[in-house]
């Protein structure tokens, strides 16, 4: 019973932790700003999508995407579209390759990079930013990806462990 709740509970905790880490960003390093954008939740959802259940991951993606849009962005439909889409892409990719932890980690990071690019293009398109691609890569993308890969390397195995435990429990009691 506990295990049943723990998968969504981790997602909720990660959702709330993201803006807490966001409070420390941008980092002011020697007069240059570096934006570390936490993408914990979507990486966790990618893990769920790969190891557990694609539809479940997409449903969580939609739910948290809507919350994210309403609470932070006031642009409804951006994250609530991108989160499920990324879960879908992750599950397609994993059909053709082995589900090893390292490969999953790499796929998650590649997809998060993709997400950052799509968001950059979107905000460039609606005119909320005018930074050049070069500045985007050095100020945002590289610090973000460094921070997120550290997070995933540290906690990726834990995600896999929890999800596998839940999966085993589910297989043992089919109902």
Evaluate the omega torsion of the peptide bond into residue 107 and state whether it is cis, within 30 degrees of 0.
no
Instruction: With H, G, I as helix, E, B as strand and everything else as coil, classify residue 126.
Output: coil
Span of 30-38, 49-57, 99-107, 160-168 interacting with other proteins by CB under 8 A: 30-38
- Of 2 and 24, the one with the shorter C-beta distance to other proteins is 24
Among 7, 10, 11, 37, indicate the residue that binds other proteins (CB under 8 A). Answer: 37
Number of chain positions touching other proteins (CB under 8 A): 43
- Rounded CA-CA distance 122/126 in Å is 6
* Contact set for other proteins, span 81-140 (CB under 8 A): 81, 92, 119, 123, 126-131, 135, 140
Task: Provide φ and ψ at 28, rounded to 5°.
Answer: -100, 95
Name the site residues for other proteins (rule: CB under 8 A): 12, 16-28, 33, 35, 37-38, 66-67, 69-78, 80-81, 92, 119, 123, 126-131, 135, 140
């Amino acid at each position: 019973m506990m295990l049943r709740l723990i998968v969504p509970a981790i997602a909720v905790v990660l959702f709330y932790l993201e803006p807490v880490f966001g409070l420390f960003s941008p980092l002011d390093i020697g007069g240059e700003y570096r934006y570390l954008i936490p993408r914990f939740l979507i990486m966790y959802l990618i893990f769920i999508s790969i190891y557990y259940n694609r539809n479940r991951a997409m449903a969580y993606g939609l739910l948290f995407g809507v919350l994210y849009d309403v609470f932070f962005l006031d642009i409804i439909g951006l994250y609530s579209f991108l989160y499920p889409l990324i879960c879908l892409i992750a599950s397609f990719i994993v059909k053709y390759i082995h589900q090893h932890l390292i490969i999953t980690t790499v796929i998650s990071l590649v997809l998060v990079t993709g997400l950052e690019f799509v968001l950059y293009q979107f905000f460039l398109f609606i005119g909320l930013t005018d930074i050049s691609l070069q500045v985007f890569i050095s100020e945002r993308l590289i610090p973000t990806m460094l921070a997120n890969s550290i997070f995933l390397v540290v906690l990726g195995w834990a995600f896999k462990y929890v999800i596998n435990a839940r999966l085993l429990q589910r297989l043992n009691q089919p109902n």
